[in-house]
Chain A
Amino acid sequence: MDDKLTQFGQDVWWLVLAKVLLVFVFLVLMTLFAIWYERRVVARMQVRPGPNRVGPAGLLQSLADGLKLAFKEDIMPKMADKAVFFIAPVISTTCAFTAFAVIPFGPTVSVFGEKTPIQLTDVPVAVLLVLACSSMGIYGIVLGGWASGSTYPLLGGLRSSAQMISYEVAMGLSIVAVFMTAGTMSTSQIVDAQKDTQTLTLGGFDLTVPGWYAFLLIPSFLIYAIAAVGETNRAPFDLPEAESELVGGFHTEYSSLKFALFFLAEYINMVTVSGLATTLFLGGWRAPWPISLWDGANQGWWPLLWFTIKVLLLLFVFVWLRGTLPRLRYDQFMRFGWKVLIPLSLLWILTLAGIRVVQGSDLTVQARLAVVGGPILVALAIWMFWPDKRKAIEDPGVHGVDAAGRIGGTEGFPVPPLNLEVPVSPRAQRVLGERETVSTSKES
């Protein structure tokens, strides 16, 4: 199976160095561009111009911001755990960079007489490497939050890590279907597997669709897209940085270049999940349909352009989400991840596997029905007999109030009247009572 991967690992040393540098520069440029892009797009959505002063159309704004950050004071908080505080942004950034090593940019080209694919490297477990790196990146965030020795960063870091690991599970499950269909985990081979167009027969019509897994495996793509937003801590799932609750989240205490590194890591992660989505679901570096009619579209250096365009479109979706949707509440968000996305992806994997097993086997009709219907029946049974945990909560507002306007007997809490009449205050009642007793005593 690995014979297709023999083109990797054969590069001469200067080519490897050049590629490493190229990926690094690509990521840094994409980050600088993505920050400008995001600010401009969000500004357009909010009917304002956005940054337009530094450089042509404000393109150099993020570079200027980065330089400015470098010349800001580097504050080490008094309560911080110095070594961990120092190393946390390094972990985040390094993992973010490393994850991009296996993303394919294009086909084999010739550079100074050397044939080489436009991809740093590929290994049989390439996608696993991306997931491993994004998991390791969480260490940077949780350690940074913990080491700050402050309340908000601690909570922000913990929230962030809980959120990222929860959505990492959903993300990991969503791409199982891709491996199943492609039969490999190497990124270049997954791109190859999406090369051919597929013909779907729907109600007598023959539809020619691209072999992109975004079309063939729609549930996987949707789950991946949602999980990717949660995984990168982006709006509407940017709870670790919920300003109204946690100030800045895990990086509240960070300043100067350390803060810049966290920022860089966040944007690289965005580019990485977009690049991975492009590779796994959107046909990778291959040109989309109208362009692919041109024979030269998938040769030479052109695929680099298609890849970048696809990534930028996905980044646009990230910005669009941010410009459109309000932030979720944390419990809703975690519930959605654990109780909806994970069971859904498991069910989808089983269904797909069942269909494929049946298609590929020479079983009898009964056996086919058993294989496909079995899991569905089990799922249905579980759903129907699922115990309803929700207890009927007693409404304390109306039922529990006694005549004295209190809940829970004479020692309980007083409640305001429900008919909106203002009651006589207890003090006024007491005063009135005293007057009456005084007057009666005089009379008698």
Chain B
Amino acid sequence: MSLSPYIPIVGLFALGAGFALFSVAIAPFVGPRRYNRAKLDAYECGIEPTPQPIGGGRFPVKFYLTAMLFIVFDIEIIFLYPWAVSFEALGVFGFVEMVLFIITVFVAYAYVWRRGGLDWD
């Protein structure tokens, strides 16, 4: 019985997924179908679309860097949450440990900032 509070979440997930799948599945049958070659091209303001390599074009590496940074900070957040919840119980010891941890992450943050990793040009 200990897992039962999670079952309604699965229920809502199933209903949401079912609704969404149903919608995308019936869309081609409900709507009209009028073939037009230009309609199937990628939209680029009416001009001939730029040819795209199969599997997607290139994109700036900045996005990738941002994602990597996000992982670092997300891990920091995940460590912060349990500490925040049992903050009263951990007391001064927990606080000092958390200050040390945040400073450790802050060193990496300062490094990235200094190297221009946070600049978007």
Contacts and interface: CB of A to CB of B under 8 A. Distances in A.
Given A151-B52, A330-B120, A169 B31 contact: no
B102 A149 contact: no
Range of interface residues on A (Cβ < 8 Å): 35 or more
A93 B81 contact: no
A176 B16 contact: no
A214 interface: no
B42 A151 contact: yes
A409 B44 CA distance: 41
A123 B6 contact: yes
Contacts of B103: 378
Contact of A146 (B42, B56, B80): B56
A185 B80 CA distance: 12
Given A75-B39, A151-B52, A350-B99, A162 B67 contact: yes
From B1, B27, B92, name the one whose CB has the most chain A CB atoms within 10 angstroms. B27
Contacts of A168: 70, 74
Given A73-B31, A78-B40, A154-B57, A19 B23 contact: no
Contacts, number: 231
A292 B120 CA distance: 49
B8 A86 contact: no
A74 B4 contact: no
B12 A98 contact: yes
A90 B24 contact: yes
Given A90-B17, A97-B13, A121-B5, A150 B42 contact: yes
B26 A387 contact: no
Contact of B5 (A9, A24, A162, A356): A9
B43 A152 contact: yes
B13 A70 contact: no
A73 B33 CA distance: 6
B20 to A, nearest CB: 4
A281 to B, nearest CB: 15
Interface in B90-119: 91-92, 95, 98-99, 102-103, 106, 109-110, 113-114, 116, 118-119
B48 interface: no
Contacts of A98: 9, 12-13, 16
Given A151-B44, A179-B81, A90 B21 contact: yes
Interface residues of B, number: 72
Interface in B49-69: 49-50, 52, 56-57, 59, 62-63, 66-67, 69
B43 A261 contact: no
Contacts of A354: 95
Interface string B31-46: 1111000011111110
Interface in A106-130: 120-123, 128-129
- Most central of B24, B69, B109 by chain A CB within 10 Å: B24
Given A90-B17, A101-B8, A257-B23, A357 B95 contact: yes
B15 A24 contact: yes
A159 B120 CA distance: 12
B16 A97 contact: yes
A390 B90 CA distance: 42
B88 to A, nearest CB: 6
Contact of B84 (A146, A180, A387): A180
Contacts of A128: 81
Nearest to A149: B52
Nearest to A386: B110
Contacts of B85: 179-180, 183-185
A334 interface: yes
A360 interface: yes
Contacts of A399: none
Given A169-B77, A260-B23, A162 B12 contact: no
Contact of A165 (B9, B19, B67): B67
B70 A252 contact: no
B114 A166 contact: no
A334 B77 contact: no
Interface string A143-187: 000101111101100110110011011001100110110011100
The list of the 5 closest CB pairs from A to B, nearest first, reads A97-B16, A150-B42, A9-B4, A9-B5, A331-B120
11 contacts: A9-B4, A76-B40, A97-B19, A120-B8, A150-B42, A151-B49, A158-B59, A179-B87, A253-B43, A261-B20, A346-B106
